[in-house]
Structure 1
Amino acid sequence: MTATIGIDLGTTNSCAATVEGGRPAIVPNAEGERTTPSVVAFSKDGERLVGAIAARQAAVNPDRTIASVKRRMGSDWRAAIDGKAFTPQELSAMILRKLRRDAEAFLGQDVTQAVITVPAYFDDAQRQATKDAGKIAGLDVLRIINEPTAAALAYGLDNGTPQKVMVYDLGGGTFDVSIIEIGDGVIEVLATSGDNHLGGDDFDERVASYLLDAFQREHGEDLRRNPMAVQRVREAAEQAKKELSSLDSAHVNLPFIAQNAAGPLHLDAVVTRAAFDDMTRDLVERTTGPVQTALNDAGIAASELGCVLLVGGSTRVPAVQAHVRKLTGQEPSASINPDECVATGAAIQAATLSGASTGLVRANSLLLLDVTPLSLSIETVGGVATRLVERNTTLPVHYSQVFSTAAAFQTSVEVKVLQGERPMAADNKAIGTFRLKGIKRAPAGVPQIEVTFDIDANGILTVSAKDLDTGKQQSITIDDSGRMSDDEVDRAIRDAEQYAEQDEARRDAMLAREEAQRLANEADQALAQKGKQLEKDEKKQIKADVAAVRKLLSKKVNKVDEADVAALRAAAAQLERSSARARDLARQA
C-alpha cells in the first residue's frame, strides 16, 4: 500500500502533509517538528546532512552548507563540493527525499506520489526544475500547483461560502499575491503577481548588515571577512527578526565572535522594532506593486474581497500586517497557519488526484483553475516581443499561431520564446530557443508554419510545430541552460539512490556500533563489580572479547564497509555470549 503527500518546498523551511480520514494532517519529521529547514550540508568526511542537523552546524561549516537553494531553481548555478557540482534540482531533491522518508516512517507505508507547490510567479524553467527535483527524489509528481492556490484550497475546505479572497504570500525567498474566487467545489485563480526575489531572507540580510556595521563602528573590525562569524550573525539576525514580531526590542549577544591584539571581541547589540521597521521599509513597500497589479488584472477593488489570507512566515512581521491593512482596508484572516497551510492545500489536491473517496475530501471533488503568471511572447523582427499568451490566462492553455520566414529561401527558422511583460524582447526572460528545420525553399513570407504552445496544469510549456505546406509535423528542440536533460535527471536519480543505499549502510553501521559499545561497557562494568566471582579463564575470555570489539570500534565510521560491520556484529555476538554470566551477576547485585 502506498500513500500520497503534499509538499511545500520552501526557501527557508519545507513542510509535508497528507489526508487521513478525509482530513488533512501535517506530517512531522524524524525530529518531531512540523517543518523542516530547507538546508543541505556536507560534513568534512563527506556525509550529507539535511534539515535541522544541517542548519545547526552551518556556523562552523559555512562553506559546505547550502540554504535558500529555491532561489536558484531554474538557473545554471551549481554548488561545488569535493569536486562535484550539484544542481539546484539535486539539492532540492535531497530535501524532498528527507520529507518523503519521514512521511514513510510516520505513515508506515511507502510514499510514491506527491503534489509539490511553487511560487505563483515561478517561470517555466523553475517549474520544470521543481518537477525534476521530485523525480530525482523518487516521487511521481502528480501536479505542480501554486502556493497561494494551495493556501486558498486549505482555507476553502472549511470556508465554503462563495467569495473572492486575496492570498498575500511572503515567504523566506519569494513573494506572491493571488486573487482567487472560491465557489462550490471550484477554486479559480483570477490573477496573480509577485516578486521571486523578495522574502524573509532579505529582511534577515538587513538586520545582519545592521549588526555587522554596528560591530565595525565599535571595534574597528570587519566581520565580513570571516565566513563563520558572518553565519553566526545571520542566524542571530533571523532570531532577532522573529523576536521583534512580539517584542519592542531584541538583544543580540554573540561572545567571542572575533579577536584582535587586545583579546577576544564580543558582539552585543540591541535592535529595536522601530529600527527594524526603518531598515526594511522599502522591502515592505515592494509588495505594493504586485498587490495593485493583481487587483487590477482581476478587475476588482480591494473592498470586494471577502477575505485576506496571510501566508508565509514573513507575514508575522507587524509592519507587513499593517501594510496589508493599509492596502486592503481589511483585517487579515487568522484562520489558517501561515507555515502549514500551503502543504495542507497540496495534500488536499494530492488526495483528489490520487482518488481518495472518503471523508471531507472526495475523489475529483475539487476543481482547481490556475493561471499562467507571466505573458508568453516570441521575438519578431526588430527585437519586438510579440505577445501570444497573456498573463493570468487560465490553465491549461492551447494556443496556435502561424508564422512565416523573414528572408528569402530560408530552410530553417529560429524562434525565441520569452516570458515577461516588457514590449522589447531583450527586456524579458528568454526561456527557450526553438529551431524548426527542413522548411521548403520559398520567397520570404510564403512558408506557413503553425507553432502550437501548450501549457499544462503544472504551468509547464511544451511546443510543437507543423509545416502547413507539406503537412509534416516538425520537431522542436528546447535549448534551456536552466533545465536538466533527461540523461542528467536519470543520472541524478541513480546518484540519489546510490547515496540512499550508502546512507542506509551508514545507519546500519551506527546501530551495530552502538550495540557493540553498549555490550563492551556492560562487560567492563560487570568485570569491575563481579570479577572476583568469575573463573580466571572466563575473565580472560571476556577481556579478550572486549578488546576485539574496541579494536573494531576504533575505525572511523566513514571508513567502515560491510565486512567491517559484519566483523563487528560477530565480535559483539561473541562478547554477548562470553559475558552473559558476568552481566547477569552485575544486574542481580
Structure 2
Amino acid sequence: MADELVLGIDLGTTYSAVASIVDGDVEVVRNRLGELTTPSVVHFASAGTAVVGAAARDSLDPENTVELIKRRMGTAFELMFHGARHTPESVSALILRSLVDDAIARFGPHGTVRAVITVPAYFGIREREATLQAARLAGIDVLEVLSEPAAAALHYATQAESGAALVYDLGGGTFDTTVLRVAANEVHVVATDGDSRLGGTNWNERIAEHLADAFTREFPGADPDDEDFQQQLQDATEQVKRQLSTVTRRRVGLRCGADAASFDIDRKTLEDLGADLVDRTLRIVDRALAAAAAKGVSRIDEVLLVGGATKMPAIRTALQAHLGRAPKIVDPDLAVVSGAAVRARRLASSQAGARTTAAVVPRSFGVLIEDSHDEKLRSFVEHLVHRNEPLPAVATARFATIVDRQRSVRIQVFEQSGDVPSPEVGHNRRVLDGEFAGLPPLPAGSVIEVTLRVSADGLLAVTAREPLGGAALDLEAYVDGVVDGAETEQLAETIAGLSVRC
C-alpha cells in the first residue's frame, strides 16, 4: 500500500471529476462506468445504500434523490432520507467518496488521500468552510481549496504565452469570471466576480418551461406537475441543450397520461429563452474588467471559455460581440480538474520554483458596528478586507467598548452578499458570530483592536487584543451555515454506515 494518493477534485454542481499526475502528465480518472465525469447526484436507495452518479440521476425516486446540492453549500439546509438526517456537507461527502473510490480502483489502495478541491471563485467563507467539512467527512486531507478559474488557469498556463486573460467559467450551476496574469512560472488572479446561482441548469429550466407550456397549449387538461411528465422534461432538457450546440433543431416527444405529442425546438428559440441569462453574465464580466482596470490591467490578450455550458454557441457569439475578441475553448469539461491535479502534485511535493497561483478576496469582509452617535443607534458594516485584494489578506481596525467595566465584546463578522460592497446590513450576510471574553474592567471607550485574516484558501480567522494591557483575547465563534463539531460527528457516523456505489 502506497503512503498517499494525491488528487485534484472538481466538485461540480452538475458533474464532478477527479484526476492525478501520472508520469508527469494529468490523467483524468474514469469512473466505474468508464466516464470522465460523474453526475453530482446522490440517490439514497435504502437506509444502508447511497448511489452516486448516472444511476442516481436516472432513478425514478425523486423523493430520495438529491441534485444541485452545491447550490446549498454554506446554508442550514436539512434533508431526511430513510430516517437519517443529512446536510449539504454530508451529501457532498458521498460524492467525494465516490470519486476517491474511482481513483483507488485505478491506482490501488493508499494510506492517505490528499487533494486540492476546487470551488467557484465567488464562493464565500460559508461555502468554503462547508466544502472543507465535506472533505473531512469523506476522509480527505485537503491540501488547498482552489478557485475554479485559478485551476483552469494552471491548466491553460502550460500552453499559454505571457499576458492577461479573462476566464469565463459557466458550469452547470455557477458562474465565475476572472481576470488573470500569466507569466513564465506564475498565474496571478487580478479580479474575480460571479454568481453562485447562475449556470447551465438555468437554461435547462427555461427549456423545460417552454416545452411544458407547448404541451399544455396542445392538451389544456394535462397536468404539467405529473411526476412522470416532469421526469421526461428533466431527461429531455439537458439532451436538447447539448444537441443544439451542434445542430440547429431538435424534436422532442412528450407524454402525459394518455396525451402524447412531439415539439420542435431550435437554436434560435434556445438563444431567446436564455438571452437575459447571457446578459447577466456580461454584466458580471464588465464588473470584473472594471476591477482589473483599476488595478492596472486594462488590456485582455485572450478570452478563455471553461465549463460545460460554454459549449452553447450563443455564449461565444455574445462574448465576441461584447469584447471584440473571439474566445477560446480550453477543455471546458476537464480544465478545472486538470489544473487541480497539477496544483495538488506541486503542493504535495513542495517543488521549488514550481508554477504558483495567486488569488484574490472573493467578497469583502467587515465587522458590524453599533454607532450611538447623537444618541441615535445606527448599525452598519465596516468592511476591513476588500474584494479583489490579493490573498492572503490581513486588516486591523480599532473599536471601542461602550460601557464601563465591560468584560466581553460581541463580534459579528459579515461578508458582502450583494453584487457590490455596501455598508447596509441587509446587503451583507453574517458569517461569524462570537465573543471576545476576558477583558479587564476598563472604562467605556477603551480600545479593542480586531484583526481579520483571510488565508490563501479564502478562509477567515479573527483575532483581537486590548492594546493598553497587551492581553490577547480568544474568540469563541461559529461560522453560520456550516455544521459544528457535534453535528459533524453525527454526520460522520451516518455516512460511515452507508455503502456507496455507482
Shorter-chain TM-score range: over 0.9
> 2:498 and 2:44 mapped to 1: Cα distance?
13
When residues 364 and 139 of structure 1 are mapped into structure 2, their CA distance, relative to the original with a 3 A threshold, is: farther
1:65 deviation in Å?
1.0
1:324 aligns with 2:319: yes
1:267 deviation in Å?
4.2
Determine the structure 2 residue equivalent to 1:480. 479
TM-score by length of 1: 0.79
1:418 deviation in Å?
1.2
- Counting matched residue pairs gives 487
Do the aligned partners of 1:352 and 1:364 also contact (CA within 8 Å) in 2?
no
Determine the structure 2 residue equivalent to 1:513. none
> 1:310 and 1:287 mapped to 2: Cα distance?
13
TM-superposition CA deviations, 1:479-501 (whole Å, max 9, x none): 3341111232233333333324x
1:179 deviation in Å?
0.3
Q: In structure 1, what residue type is equivalent to 2:9?
A: I
Do the aligned partners of 2:292 and 2:298 also contact (CA within 8 Å) in 1?
no
Runs of 5+ in structure 2 lacking a partner?
Answer: 372-377
1:227 deviation in Å?
2.9
1:54 deviation in Å?
0.6
> 1:170 and 1:477 mapped to 2: Cα distance?
38
Please give the secondary structure, in 1, of the residue aligned with 2:274: helix
Determine the structure 1 residue equivalent to 2:39. 37
TM-superposition CA deviations, 1:417-442 (whole Å, max 9, x none): 11111121221111111322233334
TM-score by length of 2: 0.93
1:44 deviation in Å?
5.3
TM-superposition CA deviations, 1:109-134 (whole Å, max 9, x none): 42610000000000001001011111
Do the aligned partners of 1:223 and 1:230 also contact (CA within 8 Å) in 2?
no
- Give runs of aligned pairs for residues 284-323 of structure 1, distance below 5 A: 284-299=278-293, 304-323=299-318
Please give the secondary structure, in 2, of the residue aligned with 1:168: strand
1:85 deviation in Å?
2.0
Please give the secondary structure, in 2, of the residue aligned with 1:410: coil
The structure whose Rg is larger is: 1
Please give the secondary structure, in 1, of the residue aligned with 2:397: strand
When residues 44 and 472 of structure 1 are mapped into structure 2, their CA distance, relative to the original with a 3 A threshold, is: same
> 1:227 and 1:45 mapped to 2: Cα distance?
24
Do the aligned partners of 2:121 and 2:193 also contact (CA within 8 Å) in 1?
yes
Do the aligned partners of 2:86 and 2:491 also contact (CA within 8 Å) in 1?
no
When residues 425 and 303 of structure 1 are mapped into structure 2, their CA distance, relative to the original with a 3 A threshold, is: closer
TM-superposition CA deviations, 1:111-168 (whole Å, max 9, x none): 6100000000000010010111111111101000000000011000222x21111100
> 2:6 and 2:25 mapped to 1: Cα distance?
13
Determine the structure 2 residue equivalent to 1:456. 455
Please give the secondary structure, in 1, of the residue aligned with 2:477: coil
Determine the structure 1 residue equivalent to 2:130. 129
Q: In structure 1, what residue type is equivalent to 2:10?
A: D
> 1:228 and 1:444 mapped to 2: Cα distance?
66
- Give runs of aligned pairs for residues 552-571 of structure 1, distance below 5 A: none
Do the aligned partners of 2:166 and 2:178 also contact (CA within 8 Å) in 1?
yes
Please give the secondary structure, in 2, of the residue aligned with 1:299: helix
1:385 aligns with 2:386: no
> 2:480 and 2:462 mapped to 1: Cα distance?
17
Do the aligned partners of 1:450 and 1:468 also contact (CA within 8 Å) in 2?
yes
Determine the structure 2 residue equivalent to 1:413. 409
1:439 aligns with 2:439: yes
Q: In structure 1, what residue type is equivalent to 2:185?
A: G
TM-superposition CA deviations, 1:274-299 (whole Å, max 9, x none): 11111111111001221111111111
Q: In structure 2, what residue type is equivalent to 1:292?
A: D
Determine the structure 2 residue equivalent to 1:465. 464
Determine the structure 1 residue equivalent to 2:77. 77
Determine the structure 1 residue equivalent to 2:374. none
Calculate the aligned-residue CA RMSD, in Å: 1.9
Is the deviation greater in 457-466 or in 485-494?
485-494
1:453 deviation in Å?
1.3
TM-superposition CA deviations, 1:440-487 (whole Å, max 9, x none): 334432x22121212112111011222223322222122334111123
When residues 327 and 496 of structure 1 are mapped into structure 2, their CA distance, relative to the original with a 3 A threshold, is: same
Structure with the bigger RCO (C-alpha within 8 Å, sep 6+) is 2
Do the aligned partners of 2:169 and 2:310 also contact (CA within 8 Å) in 1?
yes
Q: Which has the higher helix share?
A: 1
Do the aligned partners of 1:124 and 1:460 also contact (CA within 8 Å) in 2?
yes
1:375 aligns with 2:368: no
- In percent, how many aligned pairs have the same letter? 35
Q: In structure 1, what residue type is equivalent to 2:210?
A: Y
1:191 deviation in Å?
0.3
Q: In structure 1, what residue type is equivalent to 2:227?
A: P
1:354 to 345, 348, 353: 348
Q: In structure 2, what residue type is equivalent to 1:102?
A: D
- Give runs of aligned pairs for residues 238-257 of structure 1, distance below 5 A: 238-254=238-254, 257=255
Q: In structure 1, what residue type is equivalent to 2:55?
A: I
Do the aligned partners of 1:353 and 1:364 also contact (CA within 8 Å) in 2?
no
Is the deviation greater in 94-103 or in 478-487?
478-487
TM-superposition CA deviations, 1:389-428 (whole Å, max 9, x none): 1101111122222211234443322222111111212211
Do the aligned partners of 2:48 and 2:497 also contact (CA within 8 Å) in 1?
no
> 2:312 and 2:455 mapped to 1: Cα distance?
36
1:365 aligns with 2:354: yes
